[in-house]
Structure 1
Amino acid sequence: MTTKPKSTTLAVLSRLVLALALAVFLPNCSKAEDEKLTVLVTGANRGLGLEHAKQWAAAGHKVIGTARKPEEAKELKATGATVLKLDITSDADIANLAKTLKGQKIDILLNNAGYMNRELNRESLQRCFDINTAGPLLLAEALKPNLKLSKQPKIVNVSSGLGSISRTNGIYTAYSISKAALNMATRQLHAQYGKEGFIVIALNPGHNKTDMGGDGAPLEPKDSVKQVLKLITGLKKEQSGRFWYIDGTEVPW
């Protein structure tokens, strides 16, 4: 009767252990790579947009942040985000952005850029509509080819509780109307893109302490954005075409 040398036995065992380790490790690596998302955030140079850039980047995802003046977006650049120029009211800027990003996958389009004007006149109505409604809709259309490269593309239109018709309280008329129109744009995108696997929602981000929300707002951007990240990453197809608050409760149209 012969026995294998101890060194040979150890070598065989080592190879078995290595094979088992690779079998476990490599699929997990692949899965981790798959879970890294590309998130495009508009109006990312300040407020909620900047906080989104910070938190998505900190979670290990690739962030593309847009700003009207990229050269001044120092805090956004510090997050590690790719900073690109976009004035959401400019058709040329939207076209240039789509050209720059041609062939690049986008998993989440976060239409965050917004504008509030407390006055009620033709100019304020037009500007609120251009930034809060037309811009997000046209950008979604322009970046649809990028989103289609994702396994589960998501469009998140940042609306407002003031855009809820059933809950309106009669303040900030121009802004409220533009956000209600954005909600309809969300429904339109859902109806058109949903059949292609897109998830499209309107988001009520809550009243936050930002330049727009003021110092007296009840929510801290860090806390509300943390909830939004959880909501967005966990979205299911059946939630598409609906209006959601940061904590996952549905908001009436």
Structure 2
Amino acid sequence: MSTTSDRRALIIGASRGLGLVLANELIRRGWQVIATTRRSGGELQANADASDGRLTVESLEMTSPEELAALRDRLDDSRLDLLFVNAAIDRGNLPIGEVPTAMFTEVMITNALSPLRAVEALRGLVAPGGTVAVMSSEQGSISQNTEDGYELYKASKAALNQLMRSYATRNADDGHTKLLIDPGHNRTQLGGPDAPLTPEESIPAVVDVLEAQAGAPGLQFLDRNGKTVAW
């Protein structure tokens, strides 16, 4: 593991919302951060310009295997203490019988398949003792699914959790800490304006968890306070 002053993180999906605040919080704590965005410019690039080199921005469409491979090649000389994949979409509150096939495919590719493709493509950059983390949600908990609504989103997060579980089983001996993180219900474009939390409230706690769990073996599904979320 790196020393406190030269810890390096790669955040996939940091142009806005939770990912943007995560990048800012890590930089505030002294990390070097590489952050990806699908579109150039915006607040992320402005933050990078003002970061004195602590934040660099890379272009990535996470759903493209070709772009993931190109990013992997560009970062070949980098060694990461943290790989954090943050990406999700929501297409509304439809009962599953009313969900068009194209919508189902889009959400599952973005929320479940693509994050694990990113992990697979970039895991080799993570140093021994480093952390591979994915932003999940308590909405993906099967045992806690006791309220109606958002069936497709819940299914996509449950699929993400299951795929991460399979990944962790297959790579149990790679020496990486593996985390699924539930940041709570936040006021973001995805979470909506009525959510009880802001990213500025939840993300510092998330980073506390990431730092506290560094070096821990196995896969854990944790909330922003470090408590286990039921599968």
Q: Please say whether Structure 1 and Structure 2 have the same fold, judged by a TM-score greater than 0.5.
A: yes
Aligned to 1:163: 140
- Is the contact made by 2:111 and 2:160 (CA closer than 8 Å) also made in structure 1? yes
Aligned to 1:131: 110
Q: Which has the higher contact order (CA 8 A, sep 6+)?
A: 2
Aligned to 1:84: 58
2:208 to 230, 239, 243: 230
- Quote the offset at 1:131 in angstroms: 1.1
Aligned to 2:84: 110
Runs of 4+ in 1 over 4 A off after TM superposition: 236-239
Name structure 2 gaps, 5 residues minimum.
none
- Quote the offset at 1:76 in angstroms: 4.6
**CA displacement, residues 157-216 of structure 1 (integer Å, 9 cap, x when unaligned):** 111111111111232111111110110122122112231111111111100111111221
| Mapped pair 1:182 → 2:160 | yes
Aligned to 2:129: 152
Q: 1:1-253 residue pairs with structure 2 within 5 A?
A: 34-35=3-4, 36-72=6-42, 73-78=44-49, 80=51, 81-118=55-92, 119=94, 120-147=99-126, 150-168=127-145, 169-235=147-213, 240-253=218-231
Question: CA–CA distance in 1 between the matches of 2:111 and 2:58?
Answer: 19
Aligned residue identity for 2:123:
K
Question: CA–CA distance in 2 between the matches of 1:76 and 1:65?
Answer: 11
**CA displacement, residues 204-250 of structure 1 (integer Å, 9 cap, x when unaligned):** 11001111112211112112100011100111555632211000111
**Over aligned residue pairs, what C-alpha RMSD do you find?**
1.8
- Is the contact made by 1:42 and 1:113 (CA closer than 8 Å) also made in structure 2? yes
Question: CA–CA distance in 2 between the matches of 1:75 and 1:165?
Answer: 40
Question: Sequence identity, in percent?
Answer: 30
Query: Is the helix fraction higher in 1 or 2?
Result: 1
Structure label with greater radius of gyration? 1
Query: Is the strand fraction higher in 1 or 2?
Result: 2
